[in-house]
Chain A
């Protein structure tokens, strides 16, 4: 928008890291401007250099980085300037909103103290005056009971409230340029929708320029005016949101958009009729799981009276927000958590209350893929050994035969056989997750439990991973409990969908019914909160959601 004054002007900006004797470029020749009242989104997959760029603008990079080019905030050069000058701008003119509100807020100070601190650093303000202003800010970001929240510690607030407090802190000095680095990635969809609404309102109210860093095309569609797509440190494409979403020029942008799962765009996956009548692979009845009380903290009922079943060859998508108990159900189903009451039957055998040793036979028929690929593989074991471990321990194969099966498994998850001697840190996130699948499928289980296997992956990697899983499932016909918070993913995979909230099952039904004609209010609000990667469509959905929420009176 040339008619407005540019708050941030970046010209020929480079960031490089010193790695083992070579300067490795992380951002190359970036040029962009952000004007007042405008949102520029920098989009890219992990490793594309988007966060590095954002941190580099204000000299917040690690000591093994160097920057060159020009960064001007309100026509003052920022790059490689003395800290005393930067300090005047940080917080006051340029404010950061970070991804993890829990780690970005100091846990030993109250929220109010941290906001007051920012205010008194930059303005000559008495403590009472600063407190008044802080409460005003907390009210502005719509934190319930701002006077009481002022004296709360970060751990006493929910994730969404913490993110609001972070935003209040960032906006304390009415910054001309808030930089939001993945502001909603750690949040649930419904909370994300609220934070996005809040950010949009605040931007209009304060008329500031916003730099939004994200990998989520839905968030981008919701908030941004212009978009800059980055890949491997290079600017791939820069244009208005409308052009990027509807007429993307660069093939990379097109593939990025194509990889985003879109609700309701895929044809129904049907289940063979004879499978529906067979004995269920997994049958959960009135399952209750409690985390035992610790000291004065009472026992916590994470799962309360959940019942469902999975037929052979069926994929059941279990959806819920964080804290809904969905992961707990998955872990209990494979015997990793003790059951309080109710029953879990795998192929007709009840595993509730059984000891680990007694579960050994059932282990052969079940496999699990964990959420975090970097945590679920032993960093000191070559991946071939990780994959072969279930086979070895079940006494299925040894030596040469084990080698052969491991190679076959690597083939089936489309990893080169030469990778078997690699260590997990030498693999990318998507590859590690494939290793996780290969290990889970090593004993050809009849039931696979997938606990948010895609939440740590980029969209394009996620798309390939889901293709692979679908193909393997078509071939091997295992039943699958697919746990996720992302309704878009369930839409691609599942035959049936179960929705959980606060440890209870809200709704279970065939995919089409749950997604298109949801019966329960919670399912409806969950669906309405999912942003879609299309600015016009997203605007409509936003208005529809506002109407829906008004009708519930939330």
Chain B
């Protein structure tokens, strides 16, 4: 807080002195968005996480190609990797399927190329993550916004419903849905999971709305004749975007772990399709004899979850002005800046 406040003071003082005079003294100010962006890009782990995610997504999708359409009528753009995850190439030089030049991540006992399986698994895991994250962010934000803004009976009813969803063990629900619907494919599973993990976000957004709706700018908008919809979406929502982004990134990484957990239980993605979690659960028994079958998907899951959490951390710090960096000893010894220098910065 203090650093931001001080910064404000710097940019303001020259204006204040000039308040009634002419406007020839231009002081360069930063908009909220610029400040947030700047703070985000100062957060090194977050930037590293973002770059990793982008590179990894491009790598995965170009490697295994893009698969659309149904099983009977496939629409596929082929990737740069020579094997598809369903191919059965002959066993390589290594008898136990250890990594080699043609098969960098090794092979399964029946000859399937493990690299193509991991790529396919990552593709599915990323898709699940985006669907679950997007859907739950949408439901959670709208529920929380409406409940928090209107309050009273609407709030009570919606929040009791949220509590109800919260008490349902969604791993169990996911397992049941996966058992019954797993054959329809991964997409419905992702949607159903998305329908169950929004309550945390809804509660946070509601809390934010409860405090923001008491602010005077909401009254000001009301006096100006703004409708409820306009107040919610134009005035309050942009102010609570910090909370939404942060908890959505946390949801994203938890949805990858959730999918892994479900696949591990055997109710997620069905063979011959794979996901990262399914790969781990299938080959955990091979941990001693063919450890690469376990490590590759495991490391990728950890890397994705970590980088998403880093991005979430970076966003939270960027949106929260109370976050303050500690000052190093070297900085402590720097000469006092002149006023002109400060105003320029």
With an 8 A cutoff between CB atoms, is A537 at the interface?
A: no
Q: Are A393 and B223 in contact (CB under 8 A)?
A: no
Contact status B238-A380, CB under 8 Å: yes
The answer to whether A430 and B6 touch across the interface, beta carbons within 8 angstroms, is no
A66 touches B222 (CB 8 A): no
Q: Is there contact, CB below 8 Å, between B337 and A23?
A: yes
Q: How far is the CA of A417 from the CA of B26 in the complex (A)?
A: 12
Taking CB atoms, residues of chain B closer than 8 Å to A356 are: 222
Asked whether A426 lies within 8 Å of B239 as measured between CB atoms, the reply is: no
Alpha-carbon separation in the docked complex, A394 to B215 (Å): 22
**Contact: A428 with B217, CB < 8 Å?**
no
Whether B13 pairs with A376 at a CB distance below 8 angstroms is no
Q: Please list the residues of chain A having a beta carbon within 8 angstroms of any beta carbon in chain B.
A: 14, 16-26, 47, 62-64, 66, 232, 331, 334-336, 356, 360, 363, 366-368, 370-372, 375-381, 386, 389-390, 393-394, 414, 416-419, 422-423, 425-428, 430-431, 436, 439, 461, 464
Q: B334 contacts the other chain (Cβ, under 8 Å)?
A: yes
Contact: B345 with A20, CB < 8 Å? yes
Question: What residue of chain B has the Cβ atom nearest to residue A393's Cβ?
Answer: B225
- Complex Cα gap A304–B306 (Å): 61
From residue A116, how far is it (CB to closest CB) to chain B in Å?
32
- Are A380 and B239 also in contact (CB < 8 A) when A25-B336, A363-B223 are? yes
Closest Cβ of chain A: how far from B259's Cβ, in Å?
A: 35
- Give 15 A-B contacts (CB < 8 Å), ordered by A residue: A19-B342, A22-B337, A26-B6, A331-B219, A334-B223, A366-B223, A367-B223, A372-B216, A376-B220, A377-B220, A390-B225, A422-B29, A426-B12, A430-B16, A431-B16
Q: How far is the CA of A366 from the CA of B337 in the complex (A)?
A: 48
> How many Å from the CB of B163 to the closest CB on chain A?
21
Does B160 sit within 8 A of A, measured CB to CB?
A: no
Q: Which B-chain residue is minimally distant from A392 (CB atoms)?
A: B224
Which residues of chain A have C-beta atoms less than 8 A from B72's C-beta?
none
Closest to B214 in A: A375
CB atoms of B223 and A428 under 8 A apart: no
Q: How far is the CB of B220 from chain A (nearest CB, A)?
A: 5
- Note all chain B residues with C-beta closer than 8 A to A428: 12, 15-16, 19
Interface size classification for chain B: 35 or more
- Secondary structure at chain B's binding surface: helix, strand, loop or mixed? helix
A47 near B13 with CB under 8 A, answer yes
Query: Using Cβ atoms and an 8 Å threshold, which residues of chain A touch B3?
Result: 17-20, 64
The answer on a CB contact under 8 Å between B342 and A22 is yes
B332 at the interface (CB under 8 A from A): yes
B326 at the interface (CB under 8 A from A): yes
Question: Would you call B7 an interface residue if the criterion is a C-beta within 8 Å of the partner chain's C-beta atoms?
Answer: yes
Chain B hits for A232, CB < 8 A? 13
Q: Which residues of B contact A (CB under 8 A)?
A: 2-3, 6-13, 15-16, 19-20, 22-23, 26, 29-32, 215-217, 219-226, 230, 235, 238-239, 324, 326-327, 331-332, 334-337, 339, 341-342, 345
The CA of A381 and the CA of B217, in the complex, are separated in Å by 11
Report the nearest B residue to A373, measured CB to CB.
B216
Interfacial chain B residues near A381, Cβ < 8 Å: 235
Q: Apart from A368-B223, A386-B220, A427-B12, list 7 A-B contacts with CB within 8 A.
A: A19-B345, A23-B334, A64-B327, A368-B220, A393-B226, A416-B23, A426-B30
Alpha-carbon gap, A111 to B326, bound state (A): 35
Q: Kindly identify which residue among B15, B239, B324, B339 contacts A427, using a CB–CB cutoff of 8 Å.
A: B15
- Inside 8 A of A414's CB, which chain B residues have their CB? 19-20
**Contact between chains at B20 and A464 (CB < 8 Å):** yes
Question: Given known contacts A232-B13, A378-B217, A416-B23, is B336 in contact with A425 (CB within 8 Å)?
Answer: no
Q: Is the CB of A423 within 8 A of B9?
A: no
User: Within the assembled complex, what's the spacing in Å between the Cα atoms of A158 and B342?
Assistant: 43
Q: Min CB distance, A215 to chain B, in Å?
A: 15
- A416 CB → nearest B CB, Å: 3
CB pair A16 B336 closer than 8 Å: yes
Report whether over half of chain A's contact residues are helix, strand or loop; otherwise say mixed: mixed
Please indicate the chain A residues that have their CB under 8 angstroms from the CB of B239 in the complex.
Answer: 378-380
- Contact partner of A370 (CB less than 8 A), chosen from B219, B327, B341, B345, is B219
Q: List residues of chain B with CB within 8 A of the CB of A389.
A: 221, 224, 226
- Contact partners of B331 in chain A: CB under 8 A: 18, 21
**Out of A24, A367, A370, A431, which one reaches B342, CB within 8 Å?**
A24
Residues of B within 8 A of A331 (CB): 219
Point out the residues of chain B lying under 8 angstroms from A380, CB to CB.
Answer: 32, 238-239
Please, which residues of chain B bring their CB within 8 A of the CB of A24? 6, 10, 337, 342
Chain A: which residue is nearest B221 at the CB level? A389
Chain B residues contacting A20 (CB-CB under 8 Å) are: 3, 7, 345
With both chains docked as a complex, state the minimum distance between the C-beta of A364 and any C-beta of chain B, in angstroms. 8
Going nearest first, the 10 A-B pairs with the smallest beta carbon separation are A416-B23, A22-B337, A426-B29, A390-B224, A376-B216, A380-B238, A393-B225, A370-B216, A378-B217, A375-B216
Q: Which residues of B contact A376 (CB under 8 A)?
A: 215-217, 219-220
* CB proximity of B38 to chain A, nearest CB, Å: 9
Query: In whole angstroms, how far apart are the Cα atoms of A422 and B216 in the complex?
Result: 19
Assembly CA distance A20 to B331 (angstroms)? 11
State the Cβ distance, A2 to closest chain B Cβ, in Å. 32
The residues of B that contact A335 with a CB separation of less than 8 Å are 223
The answer to whether B225 and A360 have CB atoms under 8 Å apart is: yes
Cα separation A393 to B239 with both chains bound (whole Å): 21
Q: Which of A66, A336, A428 has the most CB of B within 10 A?
A: A428
Q: Complex: how many Å from CA A325 to CA B15? A: 36
Contact A461 B345 (CB under 8 A): no
- The answer for the CA separation of A360 and B225 in the assembled complex, in Å, is 6
Instruction: For B2, list chain A residues within 8 Å (CB).
Output: 17, 62, 64
Hey, which chain A residues are within 8 Å of B7, CB to CB?
Answer: 19-20
Q: Measured between C-beta atoms, what is the minimum distance from A448 to chain B in Å?
A: 11
Residues of A within 8 A of B225 (CB): 360, 363, 390, 393-394
A431's partner among B10, B15, B223, B226 (CB-CB below 8 A) is: B15
- The answer to whether A19 and B217 touch (CB under 8 A), given A418-B26, A431-B19, is no
Q: Is the CB of A375 within 8 A of B217?
A: yes
A371 to B8, CA, bound (A): 21
Alpha-carbon distance between A429 and B336 when the two chains are bound, in angstroms:
27
Closest to B225 in A: A393
The answer to whether B217 touches A425 (Cβ under 8 A) is: no
Q: Bound complex: CA of A66 vs CA of B334, how far in Å?
A: 11
A370 to B6, CA, bound (A): 25
Complex: A190 Cα to B88 Cα, angstroms = 90
Nearest chain B CB to A432 CB, angstrom units: 10
CB nearest neighbor in B for A66: B332
Contacts of A386 in B (CB 8 A): 217, 220
A368 neighbours in B (Cβ, 8 Å): 219-220, 223
Least Cβ–Cβ distance between B244 and chain A, in angstroms: 13
For residue B314, give the distance in angstroms from its CB to the closest CB of chain A. 18
Cα distance, A417 to B24, chains bound together (Å): 11
The CA-CA distance from A537 to B31 in the complex, in Å, is 48
- A430: B residues at CB distance < 8 A: 16, 19
Q: Check if B31 sits within 8 Å of A423, measured CB to CB.
A: yes
Rounded to whole Å, the gap between the CB of A206 and the closest CB of chain B is: 34
In the complex, A431→B11 CA distance in Å?
13
User: Hey, which chain B residues are within 8 Å of A461, CB to CB?
Assistant: 16, 19
Given A370-B219, A375-B217, the answer on whether A19 and B6 have CB atoms closer than 8 Å is yes
Residues of B within 8 A of A16 (CB): 336
Q: How far is the CB of A230 from chain B (nearest CB, A)?
A: 14
Q: Is the CB of A378 within 8 A of B235?
A: yes
CA distance A414 to B10 in the complex (A): 22
In the assembled complex, the CB of B320 is this many whole angstroms from the nearest CB of chain A, namely 14
User: What residues of chain A lie closer than 8 Å to B339, measured between beta carbons?
Assistant: 25
Whether B217 contacts A426 by the Cβ 8 Å rule is no
